[in-house]
Amino acid sequence: MTVLVGILLAGGLSRRYGSPKAFAELEGELFYERAYHALAAVCDDVVIISRPELMERFSSDAEVITDLDWIEGQGPLAGILSGIIAKRADKYFVLPCDMPYVGPAETAKLLELANPSSDITTICNSTENIPLFGIWDKRVKEQLQQDLEAGQFRVMKFMEKVATEWIDSSEIHKDPLVFRNVNQPDDQMRGWQNGH
């Protein structure tokens, strides 16, 4: 049986947002809680990757870890490798906390569409790639570690080195706004005005 672990990225500095996005609220739930539920619906286990100073703010029920010492604070790839090393699995479902409109229906659909032979399955639309909502195979660990050891922290550059499958986001949800990153509080308000 394939073991699937969710990696919830919740350690960004949130400079543009003004406060840690993990604890921003939408419809009575914190962003990280929404992401956690979206992952927990399809994963055998979920681990949250965050920063030391935020650890105590998460629910005591959740497993929260920090980046490995040698790559602490070095962005999403560092968080993903830290999650892969912390939790043994066959596949990893990556989701950042600042995509609060992604829910269990979207994670289930991506899982259904993912090609098991791809190293990474992620999404795009006609205007942008959305690389951090995706399923990563354990095979990527060695290349990921090599990139980070070499100081290569760019997600897209890493994805070019492995077998990445891009699925059009419309196959998962017709509204591309569901997959946007909320980078500033007024991004969230725009979501409300659009009915999300």
Q: Can you give the pLDDT at residue 181?
A: 86
Residue 95 identity: L
Query: Residue range 100-123: average pLDDT?
Result: 97
Strand partners for 165: 121
| Nearest alpha carbon to residue 97 among 30, 176, 14, 31 | 31
DSSP string, 150-190: TT---HHHHHHHS-EEEEEGGGT-S-GGGG----SHHHHHH
What does the pLDDT look like over 124-133, one tens digit per residue?
999 999 999 9
182: pLDDT strictly greater than 50 = yes
Segment 162-187 shows an average pLDDT of 88
Residues 6+ apart with CB under 8 A from 114: 121, 135, 165, 167
Q: With 90 as the cut, is the pLDDT of residue 13 above it?
A: no
Q: What is the pLDDT of residue 194?
A: 41
Instruction: Provide the mean pLDDT of the chain.
Output: 91
The amino acid sitting at 118 is S
Tell me the whole-structure pTM to 2 decimals: 0.92
Of the pLDDT bands very low, low, confident and very high (cuts 50, 70, 90), residue 17 is: low
Locate the domains of the chain by residue range.
4-193
What tens digit of pLDDT does each residue of 43-87 get? 999 999 999 999 999 999 999 999 999 999 999 999 999 999 999
Compute the half-sphere exposure of residue 97: CA atoms within 13 Å on the CB side of its CA.
28
pLDDT value, residue 190: 44
Please report the sign of the dihedral spanned by the C-alpha atoms of residue 120, residue 121, residue 125, residue 131.
Answer: negative
d(CA 98, CA 119): 24
Please provide the CATH number assigned to the domain covering 4-193: 3.90.550.10
Look-up: residue for tokens 């968080």? Answer: 79
Are the beta carbons of 30 and 37 closer than 8 angstroms? Answer: no
